[in-house]
Amino acid sequence: MTLRTFAGTTAVVTGAAHGIGRALALRLALAGSRVVVVDIRAEDAAAVVDELTAQGAPALAVACDVSSRADVAALGEQVAAWAPDGVQVLCNNAGVFTPRHAATATHEDWEWVLGVCLWGVIHGIEEFLPGMLESKRDCHILNTASMNGYLPSRHSTLYSTAKYGVVGLSETLRMELASTRVGVTLLNPAAVRTNISRAEEVRPERMTRSRQDPEDEAFADYGLSPALDPEQVADLALNAMSAGREAVFTDHVLKPLLEQRFARVLDAFVTLPSALPER
């Protein structure tokens, strides 16, 4: 299903106070959407709403920790009161990163990264997909994954675990909804100028690390192209949604890396006997 126009829609964008989320909110408003700006810090969400309303765009700020199902349920109630006609665009974009390897990560690290990056997407779908299906209107879900949802590194254990989940969820959901009026697009950013490296500043107290030790090295070098501005990524995402595309990548450097990865996967079949022994 293709959402050919954003005009007259209500869009919910999580992680919308900064980076790609903020850019999505601004671009959607420019395209004619009423935007619900969702972020864990109320003052940051309100600042983006001030930008939008100054431009004459209807917008609502909601503070929400997407890793909490109760918070997302409360978000749904606020959105329903503000937009009785429901939500047509859902951008599950909130994400966090912590530089921890599997050997040094605490349980709280795992809880936090998976809670925001994977469970945040699940919670958004739980809360808003039923209403999208009931509305019988053209709707669209944009799930933000990452290049690390296809190409892990030794520095991305927690993050890649979550983002691989988002990739699998989105690909399956797209098939599941193929006969409906709800489309699904998967956004896979590479290098983008965001402040995700400062995500620890918004880690909830309930997920504070149970021990303190030196941070691991944070990022791997894939030889990526120079980082894009978030607005460029948002434009790619909106164009992909409008075209009904399954996925959007942001860097051509990833293509040969993906070809190499899938070649390694296919090589695993070389050792498979042509005829397996009978039981």
> Which CATH number is 34's domain given?
3.40.50.720
In-domain check, residue 43:
yes
Beta strand ranges found along 9-115 (DSSP E): 10-14, 34-39, 59-63, 89-92
Looking at every residue in the chain, the average pLDDT score rounds to: 94
Tokens standing for 128?
Answer: 């808003």
In-domain check, residue 277:
no
Beta bridge partners of 90: 12, 141
In-domain check, residue 31:
yes
Of 267, 270, 254, the closest CA to residue 189 belongs to: 254
In-domain check, residue 1:
no
Give the Å distances, CA to CA, from 271 to 40, 260, 261, 274, 277. 49, 18, 17, 9, 14
- Say which residue, 204 or 213, is predicted with more confidence: 204
Average pLDDT over residues 67-86: 98
What is the phi/psi pair of residue 83, to 5°? -130, 80
Percentage with pLDDT > 70 across the chain: 97
> Which pLDDT value is given to residue 134?
97
In-domain check, residue 156:
yes
Average pLDDT over residues 234-255: 97
> Which pLDDT value is given to residue 218?
65
Tokens standing for 2?
Answer: 């293709």
pLDDT in tens, 136-185: 899 999 999 999 999 998 888 999 999 999 999 999 999 999 999 999 99
In-domain check, residue 276:
no
Known catalytic residues? 159
Tokens standing for 223?
Answer: 């030889």
In-domain check, residue 134:
yes
Domain encompassing residue 136: 10-271
pLDDT band with cut points at 50, 70 and 90 for residue 272: confident
What is the phi/psi pair of residue 52, to 5°? -70, -45
Of 160, 163, 152, 158, the closest CA to residue 209 belongs to: 158
pLDDT in tens, 11-48: 999 999 999 999 999 999 999 999 999 999 999 999 99
Of 75, 169, 52, the closest CA to residue 119 belongs to: 169
pLDDT at 225 over 80: yes
CB atoms within 10 A of CB 121: 28
pLDDT band with cut points at 50, 70 and 90 for residue 216: confident
- 104 with 158: CB under 8 angstroms? no
In-domain check, residue 103:
yes
The residue behind tokens 């809880």 is: 111
Q: How many domains does the chain have?
A: 1
- 245 with 186: CB under 8 angstroms? no
